[in-house]
A and B are shown apart, each in its own frame.
Chain A
Amino acid sequence: DIQMTQSPSSLSASVGDRVTITCRASQSISNYLNWYQQKPGKAPKLLIYAAYSLQGGVPSRFSGSRSGTDFTLTISSLQPEDFATYYCQQTYTTPLTFGGGTKVEIK
């Protein structure tokens, strides 16, 4: 199975900060990497798919990048509505696997 190691598991940041979350795959997954945002009591929401592509309706302050098996989600200027938990997911092969999540909290 492909392991997805997400870091950090949590972070505290202020409105306006630039935030970076990393996900490392245990083997090559090409660009089959997606990012989701989840708020308490709600279903996850797709933000980025295929490592770089912004899902429709998602603000442009969210972006994704890749370097080998390392993937990054960047929020360029954190907004109040961005405080949530973020998950990466590989869809390269089954079993599909998620990272452990990163909880973004208010500093």
Chain B
Amino acid sequence: EVQLVESGGGLVKPGGSLRLSCAASGFTFSSYSMNWVRQAPGKGLEWVSSISSSSTYMYYADSVKGRFTISRDNAKNSLYLQMNSLRAEDTAVYYCARGGAYSPDDYWGQGTLVTVSS
């Protein structure tokens, strides 16, 4: 069974940093591109970042470019999102999803809430 479990969310002050993790199981993680997608409270879905299976390609939304870094460790079956210089508008539930830049997101984690507030 495919499982994606996010962790690392929480309350952080504006300008602070947070690192999200996504633990994958039930499939050959190293064969799939992965995405981060977020959803602000009461709002729609927003793509954040994608990474290819071997980390060759990484893509970012303009809203996070230069502040967020996506990475993965295929030996640990894990996906990461390093978030720096956080802003109030980054407050959202962050989902990891199996899919990548040009594929549908066929499996999603349960999400982790990031709240940026003083």
Question: Which A residues are within 8 Å of any B CB, using their own CB?
Answer: 32, 34, 36, 38, 43-46, 49-50, 55, 87, 89, 91-92, 94-101
Partner of B111, one of A43, A45, A46, A87: A43
Q: Which of B76-101 contact A (CB under 8 A)?
A: 95, 99, 101
CA distance A41 to B61 in the complex (A): 24
Cα distance, A38 to B50, chains bound together (Å): 21
Establish whether residues A44 and B108, one from each chain, have CB atoms under 8 Å apart when the complex forms: yes
**A89 CB contact (under 8 Å) in B62, B104, B106, B110:** B104
In terms of DSSP, what is the predominant structure of the interface of chain A? loop
Residues A96 and B44 in contact in the complex (CB < 8 Å), given A43-B109, A43-B111: no
Pair A95/B108 contact, Cβ less than 8 Å: no
Are B101 and A91 touching (Cβ within 8 A)?
Answer: yes
Residues A96 and B109 in contact, CB atoms below 8 Å apart: no
When distances are taken between beta carbons in the complex, the residues of chain B under 8 Å from A34 are 104-105
Evaluate contact between B104 and A94: CB separation under 8 angstroms. Answer: no
Contact status A94-B101, CB under 8 Å: yes
Candidate in A46, A87, A92, A95 with the most chain B CB atoms within 10 angstroms? A95
Query: CA separation between A79 and B105, bound complex, in Å?
Result: 24
Q: Which residue from chain A places its CB closest to the CB of B47 in the assembled complex?
A: A96
Given A32-B102, A96-B101, 5 other A-B residues pairs in contact with their CB atoms under 8 A: A34-B104, A46-B106, A89-B104, A98-B44, A101-B44
